[in-house]
Amino acid sequence: MRTVPIPAAMLDTAAGISGLALDTGKTVGKGVNVRHGTILTLEDINVSFDGFKALTDLTLYIGVGELRCIIGPNGAGKTTMMDVITGKTRPDNGVAYFGEQFDLTRMSEVQIAQAGIGRKFQKPTVFEALSVFENLELAQKTNKSVWASLRATLTGEQKDRIDEVLSTIRLDSARHRPAGLLSHGQKQFLEIGMLLMQEPHLLLLDEPVAGMTDAETEFTAELFKSLARKHSLMVVEHDMGFVGSIADHVTVLHQGSVLAEGSLEEVQNDERVIEVYLGR
């Protein structure tokens, strides 16, 4: 893998979340058992909506610390797959495990989020009426019960963590602005920042660089690369340039199942992939 210089701020962040540092063969952070080095296991997943098969025998493994890009034409089932992983959609059958012990098909969205899967939506979704700082505050990993929220006050440590993420996502100067007034790209970064605050083990990112300027895209690529290995990332993206700059491993989805898997170069040269997707 190419080495890329990473801004110091990002290295700080990486150090800040090193609680999640992985040792393959042990548990990552709190509770997620990844004995076999696989953070996400999807096997023979089927999902159909009124007869339309959105996912067909989808089998996919994400390794601990991996940065995986998922590409595929519209309707290939990328978003449905994310819905299955985050508990929004229940598969008709199949196996979905987070680590060794979390059966995702039996958990609610909230439980899955608390277990350590963070998701960024395709359309940036932030709490528009709240300030940037408050958005990050709510996302922060902590006790999220009603009683805890009624009595919650920020500790110095928590404030420092928010400040750290604010500078990582370059929104330091906008900390008191309502999130609704941010630009599209800034909202994307805020949402990524919220994911960082959640300290998830696995990040699902649905088109994270859509609507970003070139400079922002480049910065996002660096950021993701600095996150990989400490976190596992699954990135759905259409921007091939972006995919090429970050991915060591690419999966191509087509009609609800995996068409090809390998390095970007390998899949780009794959006859079937060219036929259904890249060749068009």
Partner 1 sequence: MTQALNQTLLARATAKLGPQVSLAIGLLVLAVLLAMPLLHLLPADHAMHVSAYSLTLVGKILCYAIVALALDLVWGYAGLLSLGHGLFFALGGYAMGMYLMRQSAGDGLPAFMSFLAWNELPWYWYGTSSFLWAMCLVVLAPGLLALVFGFFAFRSRIKGVYFSIMTQALTFAGMLLFFRNETGFGGNNGFTGFTRILGFDITAAHTRAALFFATVVLLVASLYLGFKLARSKFGRVLTALRDAENRLMFCGYDPRGYKLFIWVVSAVLCGLAGALYVPQVGIINPSEMSPTNSIEAAVWVALGGRGTLIGPLLGAGLVNGMKSWFTVAFPEYWLFALGALFIVVTLFLPKGVIGLLKKEKDQ
Task: Give the binding site for partner 1 (CB under 8 A).
Answer: 86, 108-110, 113-114, 118-119, 121, 125-130, 134, 137-139, 141, 144-146, 149-152, 194, 198
Task: For partner 1, give the closer residue by CB, 93 or 108.
Answer: 108
Three-state SS annotation for 180-222: HHCCHHHHHHHHHHHHHHHCCCEEEEECCCCCCCHHHHHHHHH
Cβ 83 to partner 1 shortest distance, Å:
11
Task: For partner 1, give the closer residue by CB, 8 or 150.
Answer: 150
Cβ 114 to partner 1 shortest distance, Å:
4
Cβ 218 to partner 1 shortest distance, Å:
26
Using alpha carbons, list the distances in angstroms from residue 22 to 26, 62, 174, 212, 214: 8, 14, 33, 31, 32
Closest by CA to 194, choosing from 155, 168, 157, is 168
Closest by CA to 59, choosing from 112, 105, 96, 103, is 96
Half-sphere exposure of 89 (CA within 13 A, CB side): 20
Task: For partner 1, give the closer residue by CB, 3 or 143.
Answer: 143
Cβ 112 to partner 1 shortest distance, Å:
8
Cβ 140 to partner 1 shortest distance, Å:
9
Using alpha carbons, list the distances in angstroms from residue 256 to 84, 157, 173, 232, 234: 12, 44, 43, 22, 17
Task: For partner 1, give the closer residue by CB, 76 or 107.
Answer: 107
Task: For partner 1, give the closer residue by CB, 12 or 134.
Answer: 134
